[in-house]
A and B are shown apart, each in its own frame.
Chain A
Amino acid sequence: GNSVTQMEGPVTLSEEAFLTINCTYTATGYPSLFWYVQYPGEGLQLLLKATKADDKGSNKGFEATYRKETTSFHLEKGSVQVSDSAVYFCALKGTGGTSYGKLTFGQGTILTVHP
């Protein structure tokens, strides 16, 4: 079945540092890939997405590129802020059969940014 693996957390950075959160996946066909974010006290919300190989999703200074050859969708930001402190989830949407429509999530990575 489909699966998503994220780098172990938690991740602690100083403000303006560079961020990478690794995400790899296992899936048949051509899944769509997503990053969701959960800020403290809030529900999960979509951060960015990519629907086909080599697509780059971007939002709020975050970027991720859909790499089919390495089955990866790593999240990056050049300069993090304290307000980026949150839990980040990588997710995959299946393309066929009973997988269609189902989002499979990774285990989440806690990011804490200090001033």
Chain B
Amino acid sequence: GAGVSQSPSNKVTEKGKDVELRCDPISGHTALYWYRQSLGQGLEFLIYFQGNSAPDKSGLPSDRFSAERTGGSVSTLTIQRTQQEDSAVYLCASGDRANTGELFFGEGSRLTVL
């Protein structure tokens, strides 16, 4: 597609369950970012990929969070044993090889943990 695609757009889960969020970046974009946006908060950086490697994982909140990217394209963010404080909108963005800072964002996956 033409833009960054994220799925699911909405996810409601019970506390303790695992969830997977998917991001399909713009074709040819080598940089891929995950951010978290909580109500009333800014964008919290989670992880950044250049190709398939992640030079910066510093934002992952705990070891319950992990992310991978395969084939330099699709990325999956996995949250294990979800907690209520994980409820947020998870945003994915991609950027081109030059990584100028111009990112193209998806519309996000809204996660609600009951």
Contacts of A101 in B (CB 8 A): 31, 48, 50, 55-56, 95, 99
In chain B, positions 12-70 with a C-beta closer than 8 Å to chain A are 31, 33, 35, 41-43, 45, 48, 50, 55-56, 58
Contact yes or no, A105 B99, CB < 8 A: no
Chain B interface residue bracket vs A: 20 to 34
| Contacting residues of chain A (40-71) with chain B, CB-CB under 8 angstroms | 42-46, 49
Q: Does B103 contact A (CB under 8 A)?
A: yes
Contact yes or no, B43 A43, CB < 8 A: no
Interface size in chain A (residues, C-beta < 8 A): 24
B31 → chain A closest CB, angstroms: 6
| Cα separation A43 to B93 with both chains bound (whole Å) | 10
Judge whether A27 is part of the interface by a CB distance below 8 angstroms. Answer: no
CB of B111 closer than 8 Å to a CB of A: no
CA distance A35 to B16 in the complex (A): 37
CB atoms of B105 and A89 under 8 A apart: no
- 10 A-B contacts, Cβ less than 8 Å apart? A6-B42, A36-B103, A43-B91, A43-B105, A44-B105, A46-B102, A98-B58, A102-B45, A103-B33, A107-B42
Interface positions of B (Cβ within 8 A of A): 3-4, 31, 33, 35, 41-43, 45, 48, 50, 55-56, 58, 91, 93, 95, 99-108
**Other A-B pairs beyond A32-B101, A108-B42, 5, CB < 8 Å:** A43-B3, A45-B104, A89-B43, A102-B56, A103-B45
A-B residue pairs, 6 tightest by C-beta? A107-B42, A105-B43, A93-B101, A43-B105, A44-B105, A43-B107
